Structure 1
Amino acid sequence: MIDIEAVMADFAVRQAQRQTQVVEEIQQLKSVILPRLQEAGIARVEIRFDGCGDSGAVEECACLDAAGGAIACPDVTLQEGEAHTADGAGSEQLPSLGQALEQLTYLALERHHPGWE
């Protein structure tokens, strides 16, 4: 017989651990992304997200200067040890700044809007 209270308690513990991990990942990404944006003269980033249907996706990351003019997102790869993502096969790959912005967006959605999909 399944002890539903034990299952729910275990689920709550795992959820709390995941939330702690998400907060840490957000802080790590911010510490890497923000200086790169400042170096490029980017004052604001607008991320367009489409949450229609059963899933959601980042549609565009628009970088803007202080006057609101569009700036291309710098084509830089983050350095080893700064930020990384698992590709599912156990190896780690270094993301570009644009990919790091997308990753930050999904983590923020998970943290602040669970069930965003």
Structure 2
Amino acid sequence: MDCFVGIDLGSTTTKSIYMSPDEEILGRGITNSRSNYALACEVAADEAEINSRFNVLRKRLEASGDDGSAAEVTQWLTARFRLAQHLLQTDALEEECRRVVAEWPDAGERADYEA
């Protein structure tokens, strides 16, 4: 499917849309810019692409004689996808934290801290 990507890069937020050739907005993405503009553009565009894919799926399900469950199925799939994304990001964060702690100068002499 052909589409166009539009990005609004701002100092605090970056927004993105995917648009069809007939100017229908397929999906949107938004993220904080955090002064890392290249990353903000990438994240917003990725979010818009993901949003677009789920919207296109929902519309195709509805067009195929859907019994009214297209929105529910799409919502469930989106939630499962977001959970998988979250778990992957959490695993990556844990791995990075373990790497940093292992490289800490006094790794063998750390004190135990109570919360």
Please state which structure has a larger fraction of its residues in helix.
2
Q: TM-score range by the shorter chain?
A: 0.3 to 0.5
TM-score (norm 1): 0.33
Where relative contact order (Cα < 8 A, 6+ residues apart) is larger, the structure is 1
TM-score (norm 2): 0.33
